[in-house]
């Protein structure tokens, strides 16, 4: 090669039709060093096609993450990595990495269709660190992490890492196949919500070991919090999973695990939407955690944040020197209260980025559901905005039409690929048909958090029991509307932070009454129609409010009171999973029936939960005051012996052990419009669940007939 036009440029003419020259190499000198390498620009990758660009442009490339980003590839027998990024307004885009000394002049990318830049770089391997250097038309340079990158460096570093997600050997084929043929809403769903960075921690002196047994000092060195270092995904697979299994929960819900730069955001300010956080290990380690959950019969739900993203310079903000991912008008594209930006849902490629991201987590990591954060912030243009700070839609309303269309598209596409999964909306307004199918005009989620029930319950249980007689509506109001949506009852992390105290601290009275109130609240929650979610620490009566920088107060379990409440949750979960009447008809009117909801003088309610396609039912009686009642009568639909299945006031839970000696026979005493009734002993701040024992009733009836004969 010769320098013909410029002393810094060398050139020659090659006939690339000659097979030997298809992947030619160049030998060159840098000072006294000589190197031999392939010419990057001699390779044309077939990975990205015109059809890919067409689908991406119209927002319908559901697996665009297999084309954009960084992917190991082999072209003409040469191994390397194919890079592709969407930056339509950039003047130049280069790949920076440890393989080119982070020099943006060495690997400038080619521009493909619709502003996608691509380049195959030979001899780059899995594990390489890289970024994109984006130069706009004014000459300003931005160094960006890969929006479609599968792994990032541990913060505060921000480079993406070339990763192969197809090497892990899954062991959950049976789980995945059974899930496809299961209707989850007809089964029990009891969710343990968990922030994996603060559920538990390891001692700083305890090293983080890799799967091969070697010690990895990088993660340990960066975790200097006095609470100890983070557990890894694999360590949580050996500790968190059996703990949740023992307590009887059906699912683990993890606060966002996608990469985020600031620990204090709890994961809700995402910069790496396609990358599990490297704080806890590699993507393969996260796969191992999910695999272990499925091995133990536990589903995995992750929090997903498509509503907003942070302004960090290495992230999506102002990606190609323009408002690419965010809406350009700050009255639409910015949440000033949160200091974040809002996606431009009306742009097809942005919508495609998010729809494909939802599919990605189900596809590559086998998760079983998503809880979608802050849905209301997406649906309303005036969300947390004063008059004059927002722009109306084309009809003059405050509804964000493009965001609603994006939500419908996501749910419609996702359930097409992955039936039997869950999409749960954290939606706090009266937007109609959130959990209705898209084909009838709904948003397409299959569950919605019941925020109204949560506020009513916490307000009710916070007040002194004497005043509860004047607020019976707090207990009963949710039944008026609970058939309008598929509701999930949730007492989440948001209720135990920012000075709100933990659940135990919200309760009035002395310590005995506090624990009794907690048992009463959760027993009523498990008997009430709707699926269940509760935050970590509630199951053993954490006293302090949640601290994301530390760990749960596990030391409390040395005390009997906290052991008792943990036993209560284990038993109430077991009862819930064993009785179809408590979950089969959560969303059908036939599944719930009041016996009496008007006894506000005693602050007592009683009701029936019915199973589907059988005559099985559960009678529940709740006494929300510390005043016991020795002869409290309720009507029941059938005569016989009613076994006391569950008593929240039992001695093993720390209660006073008042009850009904295992059950009660009915009496022919017309009450509550039933010809039969039960004379019950109601314990203080207690919930009873009773079930007709048909075998014992039938045997007694046969014995009575025989004695008469």
Distance from C-alpha of 228 to C-alpha of 208, rounded to nearest angstrom:
12
Cα–Cα distance list, 628 to 286, 391, 623, 667 (Å): 49, 57, 8, 21
Three-state DSSP state, 236: helix
Place of tokens 């691509």: 118
Among this protein's residues, is 349 annotated catalytic?
Answer: no
At CA 222, angle to CA 221 and CA 228, rounded to 5?
80
Active-site residue (options: 253, 334, 426, 427):
426
Q: Report residue 677: phi and psi, to 5°.
A: -150, 165
Q: How far apart, in whole angstroms, are the C-alpha atoms of residue 38 and residue 29? A: 14
Instruction: For residue 664, give the 3-state DSSP assignment.
Output: strand
Q: Could you tell me whether strands 299-304 and 251-254 are parallel, antiparallel, or unpaired per DSSP bridges?
A: parallel
**Which three-class secondary structure string do you get for 23-76?**
CCEEEEEECCEEEEEECHHHCCCCCCCHHHHHHHHHCCCCCHHHCCEEEEEEEC
Do residues 295 and 306 lie in contact, with contact meaning Cβ atoms separated by under 8 Å?
no
Catalytic residue among 133, 253, 285, 373: 373
Closest CA to 304 of 344, 338, 353: 353
Q: How far is CA 327 from CA 320, 345, 374, 392, 629, in A?
A: 14, 8, 18, 14, 61
Residue 426 a catalytic site member = yes
* Sign of the dihedral defined by the CA atoms of residues 452, 183, 248, 574, in that order: positive
Q: For the stretch 46-85, what's the b/e string if a residue is b when 16 or more beta carbons lie within 10 angstroms of its beta carbon?
A: eebeeebbebbbebbbbebbbbbbbbebebeebebbbbbb
List, by residue number, the catalytic residues. 373, 426
């Amino acid at each position: 090669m010769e320098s013909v036009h410029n002393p810094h440029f060398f050139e020659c003419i090659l006939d690339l039709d000659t097979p030997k020259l298809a992947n030619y190499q160049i030998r060159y000198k840098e000072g006294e060093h000589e190197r031999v390498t392939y010419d990057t620009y001699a390779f044309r990758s077939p990975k990205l096609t015109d059809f890919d660009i067409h689908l991406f442009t119209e927002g319908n490339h559901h697996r665009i993450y297999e084309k954009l980003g960084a992917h190991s590839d082999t072209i003409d027998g040469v191994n390397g990595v194919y890079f592709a990024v969407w930056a339509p307004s950039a003047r130049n885009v280069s790949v920076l990495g440890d393989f080119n000394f982070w020099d943006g002049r060495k690997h400038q990318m080619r521009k493909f269709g619709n502003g996608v830049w691509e380049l195959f770089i030979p001899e780059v391997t899995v594990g390489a660190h890289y970024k994109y250097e984006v130069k706009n038309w004014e000459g300003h340079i931005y160094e960006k992490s890969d929006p479609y990158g599968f792994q990032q460096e541990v913060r505060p570093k921000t480079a993406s890492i070339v990763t192969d997600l197809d090497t892990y050997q899954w062991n959950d084929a049976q789980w995945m196949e059974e899930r496809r043929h299961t209707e989850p809403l007809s089964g029990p769903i009891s969710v343990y919500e968990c922030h994996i960075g603060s559920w538990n921690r390891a001692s700083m002196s305890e090293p983080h070991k890799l799967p091969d047994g070697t010690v990895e000092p990088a993660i340990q060195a960066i975790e200097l919090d006095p609470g100890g270092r983070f557990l890894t995904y694999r360590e949580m697979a050996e500790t968190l999973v059996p703990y949740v299994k023992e307590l009887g929960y059906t699912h683990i819900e993890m606060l966002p695990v996608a990469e985020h730069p600031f620990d204090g955001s709890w994961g809700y300010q995402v910069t790496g939407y396609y990358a599990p956080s490297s704080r806890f290990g590699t993507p393969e380690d996260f796969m191992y955690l999910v695999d272990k959950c499925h091995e133990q019969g536990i589903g995995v739900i992750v929090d997903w944040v498509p509503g907003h993203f942070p302004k960090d310079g290495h992230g999506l903000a102002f990606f190609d020197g323009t408002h690419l991912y965010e809406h350009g008008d700050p009255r639409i594209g910015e949440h000033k209260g949160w200091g974040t930006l809002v996606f431009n849902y009306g742009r097809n490629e942005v919508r495609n980025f998010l729809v494909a991201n939802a599919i990605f987590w189900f596809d590559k990591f086998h998760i079983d559901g998503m809880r979608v954060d802050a849905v209301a912030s997406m649906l309303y243009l005036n969300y947390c905005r004063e008059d004059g700070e927002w722009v109306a839609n084309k009809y003059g309303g405050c509804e964000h039409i493009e965001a609603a269309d994006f939500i419908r598209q996501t749910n419609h596409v996702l359930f097409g690929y992955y039936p039997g999964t869950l999409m749960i909306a954290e939606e706090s307004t009266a937007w109609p048909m959130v959990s209705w199918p898209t084909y009838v005009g709904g948003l397409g989620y299959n569950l919605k958090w019941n925020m109204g029930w949560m506020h009513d319950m916490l307000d009710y249980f916070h007040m002194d029991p004497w005043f509860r007689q004047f607020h019976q509506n707090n207990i009963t109001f949710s039944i008026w509307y609970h058939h309008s949506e598929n509701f999930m009852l949730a007492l989440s992390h948001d209720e135990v932070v920012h000075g709100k105290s933990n659940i135990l601290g919200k309760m009035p009275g002395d310590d005995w009454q506090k624990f009794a109130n907690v048992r009463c609240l959760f027993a009523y929650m498990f008997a009430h129609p709707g699926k269940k979610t509760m935050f970590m620490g509630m199951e053993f009566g954490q006293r302090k409010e949640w601290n994301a920088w530390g760990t749960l107060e596990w030391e409390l379990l040395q005390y009997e009171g906290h052991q008792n409440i943990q036993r209560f949750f284990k038993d109430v979960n077991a009862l819930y999973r064993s009785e179809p009447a408590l979950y089969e008809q959560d969303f059908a009117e036939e599944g719930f029936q009041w016996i009496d909801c008007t006894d506000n003088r005693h602050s007592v309610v009683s009701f029936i939960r019915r199973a589907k396609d059988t005559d099985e039912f559960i009678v529940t009686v709740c006494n929300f005051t510390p005043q016991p009642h020795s002869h409290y009568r309720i009507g029941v639909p059938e005569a016989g012996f009613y076994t006391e299945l569950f008593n929240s006031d039992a001695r093993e839970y720390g209660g006073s052990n008042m009850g009904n000696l295992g059950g009660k026979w009915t009496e022919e005493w017309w009450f509550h419009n039933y010809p039969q009734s039960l004379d019950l002993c109601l314990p203080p701040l207690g919930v009873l669940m009773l079930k007709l024992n048909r075998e014992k009733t039938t045997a007694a009836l046969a014995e009575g007939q025989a004695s008469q004969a």
